[in-house]
Structure 1
Amino acid sequence: MGEIEVPLGLAVPPHTPHAISVSLPTWRDNVGYEEGEKRVVDSMVSGYPRFFIHLSIRKLASMCEQKHAVGNEKCMLFPTKNIAEECRSFIQRRTALAGSPVNARLVHLFICPEDKHDGTKIDRSSIAGSCADLHIVLFPESAFPIAKEVWQHTGLGISSRLAEKCIALLVKDVPEVQRSTSPVSRYATKGLNRHYSAVKNSKPPSPTQPAGEDLSSDHAVYLEERYGRNLPLDAASFAKRVLRSRVAGVLINDNIREYQSNPRLSQKELVVGPSTRGITDVAADDVYLYPTGMSAIWSAHHIALAVLPPAKSVCFGFPYTDTLKILQKWGPGCHFLGFGLDSDIDELEQILEVESKRDPNTPPILALFTEFPSNPLLRSANLPRLRGLADQYDFVIVIDETIGNFVNVKVLQYADIVVSSLTKVFSGASNVMGGSLTLNPKGRHYTTLKNYLKDNFEDVYFGEDAIYMERNSRDFKRRIRVIDANAQAACEFLHSRSRAGGAPSPAIKEVFYPKYITRENYDFCRIKDVDPEDGKEGGYGGLFSLTFTSVAASKAFFDALPCYKGPSLGTNFTLACPFTILAHFGELDWAAQYGVEEGLVRISVGMEGTEALLRSFEIALKAAEAVL
């Protein structure tokens, strides 16, 4: 794989204008960031888009504040009035609960291109030449941390590509936004976890790039400005149609280049067949696209609250942090069953029995949310047993299949709604966000959910982002097969050197990977039919986590591992992070109760050569064993 050095705070992968990760190469860097250490915070120019406010969005926000703010007001930017109203309502509700109620106000900009001064006509049929809707939520500066929660938890803020388009439409030669003197308080909020804050830009050295595109800065600019922006508007519509068919598992001919090279063909319907999702009746119309995976999760909860009697939800298993926050901060609250084991289903049965006796006329809970498998412990729930309880007590099941993905597992038959972060392995390129929500047409709540979406769904997925997502995902099945094989080889090697694997004097305590963790539940949903295209069964995914016999061993392993280091997962390249430090720094003891230890290292395996990957893990393991 070769050693990869990306300076602290720069984009991962390098030279990627809309990168969704950032380099935090050492354990100390991650802790320093969480503690607000100036050395780290002042280096950040990129980050995961729901936590880090992209420089282009900062620039647009500053322009909006200069023109529309009164006094010390700050703003958040959203693509529709409904989302902006949601942000305003959240700010007012949460500040009132805190005893200091704050009002927010909305400004709507409808921005259309003007012909150039030299008389050149703008092509208004292209993405770059079309109009843009921008909804601005203005609020006192003191409420910024609350507004930032909406941005982070819902994932419904504008995308960085949309921000760049708005800037281009509004004015020319706008000066760069100057670095804030207090970037942490201005662009990040601590709460229970603080995430990325942008400040300055510099060009990184060119590191060794694993499998995938090695984009020079010129090439990256070409792709962004030519490939996406200058395509006609109907290219975005076509890309979304393809994405929905691809996610639905109904696309017969996945060679989209053939469609795009033949304009007459692309005007026709795509060639589709029975779905491969475990329920053949799934159609592209049952798939809804969102700007992020978390916005799909937030929307699933929002839909359930809208169509079913009010009740608490259940978060089953230890989830990625924002899922739990959504269930806690919107609606009546939630029951948290954080281990995700069968013993938690026993507890769930007790909750259902008690709640149903309290009010026999309404379902005892609203919905149950679970990941399959979970992040970061890779535990898989007993879905048949949960489905049986949902049928008995009439609640909705929402399954996040991001980690398992539908090349490896079939879970739709146990769900009412399946959500996924397309940002991850479906895209792989780490340069665009996206999410999907799929309805189970055989589900008992299907008609109710479908009718609600028919009347209320807003397509807020920016067309240029959809074009990149479609392009990236054309070969997702092939990439997943390579990543699955690499991850299995790496886990077998590391497990053999772990305490759980019986190794003498090991540095590694346990390898969390679906092949070793709750395997019976995972295997029950794993696709065992041989794929006619490549002759392979479903694998165990590309994500695993390691715990160590000491925090010192964790640090040594992480620092010595020669790969990209930063947040996110599902990338075409190997990406590691000290997960608990990044996601739960302010609540380490709480996370540890559920087995998410302070020293846990999460690794998303990429497409590098298997032997090179194993050598890299050998290097890191020797460093960890040396501190014992």
Structure 2
Amino acid sequence: MSVALGLGVPPHTPHAISVSLPTWKDNVGYEEGEKRVVDSMVNGYPRFFIHLSIRKLADICQHKYAVGNEECMLFPTRRIAEECRDFVRCRTLQLGRQPVQPRLVHLFICPQTSGSQPSAPLATTNTADLHIVLYPSDESSIAREFWQHTGFGISSRLAERCLSLLPHETKTLDIAHTTPAPIARFPMKGGYNNRYSVKGLKTVGASPPQEFSPMETPASAEDLSSDHSTYVEERYGRNLPIAAAALAKRALRRRVAGTLIKDNWSDTDCGGVPCAGQESVKTGPSSRGVASVTEDDVYLFPCGMTAIWSAHQLARQVKPEGKSVCFGFPYTDTLKVLRKWGPGAHFLGNGLDEDIDALEKLLESESKSDPSKPPVLALFAEFPSNPLLRSANLPRLRALADKYDFLIVVDETIGNFVNVDVLNYTDIVVSSLTKVFSGSSNVMGGSLVLNPQSRHYTALKSQLSETYEDTYFDEDAVYMERNSRDFKRRIKIIDDNTTAVCDFLRSRSIVGGSTTSQTAIKNVFYPKYITRENYDVCRVKPSPSLPSGGGFGGLFALTFTSPSASEAFFDALQVQKGPSLGTNFTLACPYTILAHYAELDWAEEFGVERGIVRVSVGMEERDTLLDVFGNALKVAEEAVAKGVI
């Protein structure tokens, strides 16, 4: 049996990144705000669903500080709170509304005992710093745009830290959950998008125990109480102590930089602390294709979208203001960031070589109209793209960037740096560490890497030295450090599993040569078959440490010969179902329904069909995976044979 609708994925994980939406109908109901679906949800992807702990803390702050009909959002630093305030003010003006000036409140939580004095914010686990943005409830949808697009909202673990430090009488206030449902990202027909809605706290743990199949993830140590869980993780060496968060973050930066000669996390000669973050650990030239990269060129963020937003802001700070270019069909929030901050973006949504032809003409035209500044600010691309797994011609784009003096920012999340070397063609590389780098789907994280060989490196590095804030919550970093220790081994297994599944499915598809009347699959989108020549340019070459070289990643997408085939395949697929990717377990979703439900026709203009099923393959036994996908395909082919519309 799959995880019940609305529960966290992985199951029994308080900080789960995904949420169970097991049927096609459930996903549509989620987007349309169907009561059956909305009322069942006790979890969701953190940028789209406000965690119950965060909601509880926000209710307490709202009860204490709100005036009139004000609501609030919570952030870790004053600068981010100011960014939210400015966004709400500017966005209301852009939409032709009465300008709004949100209020800011700084709450430093420091329990007093026996006359002790407050220490510096976040100096120990016994204090917490909280910045509250209060705004009229009528503008809640705009504030939530900031929460979603930037990923800067506090994490659920930080919320729990704050709650643990508040007086008991404060935490037990009888606060009604009356926050209105938010407005969808786009106008919708037949309903609203409740991805931000929050259930009352009474729903936690209210569902009956579920049975789980071998394809599903077992409960994690986070099932235990917070204090007990922390003790178990630290006592048996799975987690670093919270006090060693600085070591965890250094280990993460070294892993992302590719400078660890040996990742000695399992050694026991470091006083019980994994060696990867120690000052004394031996590091060497980066394995990322640019040998001069160091850990000091890596910047950590609370999530991947925060890294993308920060890269865009960084480009605006070091270059003359101008439009950016979004090259290829991206994950939805990337395009929103480029359009809502600054003067906008040129969108070249197919990401193919003919789009580079169009880009070159655009650059020539813009250069002639104003020779005093670069024709565009920066070009943003994914390698490969989500969900069509197309790989851009990075050498050709790099040549244009050098000629016209703009930045190139590449999101390598799907390819990942074990499989592809893209840094050499970029100025900035961003990634969502939430995905396969973590794998466990229980913590968020992001990274930004500067290319020391970029002509813009000095300016970018100098600007970050002045403006970068480490807002990555210590406990999240500790969990990410633990999860990522074996990421290279896991990626190899996932790559091999995915290639086997895709080869099988493609052999039964139209693009693979199937001509039977019941053929259900039209195409398999995977870098092995899609824009392969561009992918191979950046594919990691074989080496003693990686004899077979880079693989093709763990993500693929399927299109089908009919809507009924899409739905039948998805419903019959006995894996976890929900948003996100890069998990150690296989995870599927009807991607276009979830990401572009209110703009399905627009998405189809760029080949992103409404019936796409996107699959992130995990580490299950390969024969089991092939059986699971074979059974789902059989059901889809039967639906085609029956002529179901």
TM-score (norm. length: structure 2): 0.92
8 Å CA contact retained: 1:127, 1:463: no
What's the CA shift for 1:608? 0.2
Q: Which of 88, 101, 105 lines up with 1:107 in the alignment? A: 105
The equivalent residue for 1:496 is 507
8 Å CA contact retained: 1:542, 1:606: yes
Whether 2:598 is the aligned partner of 1:586: answer: yes
Whether 2:233 is the aligned partner of 1:227: answer: yes
What's the CA shift for 1:96? 1.2
CA offset digits 1:275-300 (Å, max 9, x no partner): 00001000000000000000000000
Q: Percent identity?
A: 63
The equivalent residue for 2:609 is 597
| Counterparts of residues 74-473 of structure 1 (less than 5 Å) | 74-100=71-97, 101-115=99-113, 129-172=125-168, 174-175=171-172, 180=177, 184-185=181-182, 195-199=195-199, 200-201=203-204, 202-203=206-207, 204-208=209-213, 210=215, 214-215=219-220, 218-219=223-224, 221=226, 222-224=228-230, 227=233, 232=241, 234-258=243-267, 260-262=270-272, 268-473=279-484
**Distance change (3 Å), C-alpha of 1:342 and 1:164:** same
**Distance change (3 Å), C-alpha of 1:216 and 1:264:** closer
Mapped to 2, the partners of 1:476 and 1:207 lie a distance apart of 25
8 Å CA contact retained: 2:242, 2:478: no
Aligned residues: 621
Mapped to 2, the partners of 1:225 and 1:60 lie a distance apart of 24
Mapped to 2, the partners of 1:120 and 1:307 lie a distance apart of 45
The equivalent residue for 1:43 is 40
8 Å CA contact retained: 1:27, 1:558: yes
Residue type of the partner of 1:398? V
Mapped to 2, the partners of 1:447 and 1:219 lie a distance apart of 47
CA offset digits 1:196-246 (Å, max 9, x no partner): 533132344141354865337644754357537996554100000000011
Q: Which has the higher contact order (CA 8 A, sep 6+)?
A: 1
Mapped to 1, the partners of 2:116 and 2:90 lie a distance apart of 49
**Distance change (3 Å), C-alpha of 1:212 and 1:34:** closer
8 Å CA contact retained: 1:398, 1:415: yes
Mapped to 2, the partners of 1:604 and 1:466 lie a distance apart of 24
What's the CA shift for 1:181? 5.9
Residue type of the partner of 2:34? E
SS at match of 1:627: helix
CA offset digits 1:298-339 (Å, max 9, x no partner): 000000011100110000000000000000000010000000
Q: Considering only aligned residues, what root-mean-square deviation do their CA atoms show, in Å? A: 2.4
What's the CA shift for 1:114? 3.0
CA offset digits 1:37-88 (Å, max 9, x no partner): 0000001111110000000000010000000000110001111111100100
CA offset digits 1:474-494 (Å, max 9, x no partner): 000000000000000000000
Residue type of the partner of 2:621? G
Name stretches of at least 5 consecutive residues in structure 1 with no aligned partner. none
What's the CA shift for 1:176? 7.9
8 Å CA contact retained: 1:339, 1:594: yes
Mapped to 2, the partners of 1:575 and 1:297 lie a distance apart of 24
Mapped to 1, the partners of 2:388 and 2:13 lie a distance apart of 30
Mapped to 2, the partners of 1:50 and 1:67 lie a distance apart of 25
8 Å CA contact retained: 1:59, 1:177: no
**Distance change (3 Å), C-alpha of 1:196 and 1:511:** farther
Moved more, 23-32 or 218-227: 218-227
8 Å CA contact retained: 1:148, 1:189: no
The equivalent residue for 2:643 is none
8 Å CA contact retained: 2:222, 2:229: no
**Distance change (3 Å), C-alpha of 1:213 and 1:275:** farther
What's the CA shift for 1:132? 1.3
8 Å CA contact retained: 1:544, 1:602: yes
8 Å CA contact retained: 1:316, 1:338: yes
Q: Which of 65, 68, 71 lines up with 2:65 in the alignment? A: 68
SS at match of 1:236: helix
**Distance change (3 Å), C-alpha of 1:55 and 1:35:** same
SS at match of 1:184: coil
Residue type of the partner of 1:104? P
8 Å CA contact retained: 2:216, 2:576: no
8 Å CA contact retained: 2:7, 2:41: yes
SS at match of 1:547: strand
The equivalent residue for 2:28 is 31
8 Å CA contact retained: 1:59, 1:176: no
8 Å CA contact retained: 1:228, 1:468: no
8 Å CA contact retained: 1:482, 1:607: yes
SS at match of 1:406: coil
8 Å CA contact retained: 2:59, 2:175: no
CA offset digits 1:102-129 (Å, max 9, x no partner): 220100011123338xx99999999873
Residue type of the partner of 1:317? G
The equivalent residue for 1:59 is 56
| Counterparts of residues 452-531 of structure 1 (less than 5 Å) | 452-504=463-515, 505=517, 506-530=519-543
8 Å CA contact retained: 2:216, 2:575: no
**Distance change (3 Å), C-alpha of 1:309 and 1:124:** closer
Q: Which of 21, 32, 36 lines up with 2:18 in the alignment? A: 21
Name stretches of at least 5 consecutive residues in structure 2 with no aligned partner. 641-645
What's the CA shift for 1:537? 1.3
**Distance change (3 Å), C-alpha of 1:607 and 1:167:** same
What's the CA shift for 1:536? 2.9
Mapped to 2, the partners of 1:346 and 1:267 lie a distance apart of 49
8 Å CA contact retained: 2:10, 2:217: no
Mapped to 1, the partners of 2:216 and 2:34 lie a distance apart of 33
**Distance change (3 Å), C-alpha of 1:62 and 1:157:** same
**Distance change (3 Å), C-alpha of 1:96 and 1:121:** closer
